[in-house]
């Protein structure tokens, strides 16, 4: 079995290893794997993805709410179930779209 970096000499920075450049901004950060984003770029991408995901989630929740108001009888139980469904759809769509956009958001040059 081939093992890498088994010379017995510890790294200068401890267990994290040497700093690796960010794929987007070339900021060097210890513990970063090759081809990954630094914490600043990752947070920026997360914020952008959450903004877009919130818009999609609101649209999906409004469509579901309109459909439920149109199709369900006006009983209290049905309305509570509909409100819970709208909230659940909002949360699921927001999380899913955010993860997809974070994955496929293009690299920006600064």
What pLDDT, in 10s, does the model give residues 6-34?
Answer: 554 555 545 556 787 777 787 787 777 77
The answer to whether the Cα torsion of 2, 14, 32, 19 is positive or negative is negative
Instruction: List the structure tokens of 93.
Output: 């769509």
The answer to whether the Cα torsion of 72, 77, 79, 80 is positive or negative is negative
What does pTM read for this prediction? Answer: 0.69
Domain ranges of the chain: 39-104
Location of structure tokens 């909230």:
87
Write the pLDDT tens digit of every residue in 37-95. 787 888 888 898 999 999 999 999 999 999 999 988 889 899 999 999 999 999 999 99
């Amino acid at each position: 079995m081939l093992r890498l970096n088994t010379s017995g000499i510890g790294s200068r920075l401890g267990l994290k290893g040497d700093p690796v450049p960010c794929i987007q901004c070339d900021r060097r950060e210890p513990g970063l794997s090759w081809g990954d984003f630094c914490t600043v770029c990752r947070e920026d991408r997360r914020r952008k993805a959450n903004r877009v995901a919130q818009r999609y989630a609101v649209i999906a929740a409004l469509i579901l709410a309109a459909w439920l108001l149109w199709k369900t009888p006006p009983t209290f139980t049905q309305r509570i179930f509909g409100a819970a469904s709208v909230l659940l759809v909002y949360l699921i769509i927001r999380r899913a779209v955010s993860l997809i956009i974070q994955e496929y958001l293009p690299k920006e040059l600064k």
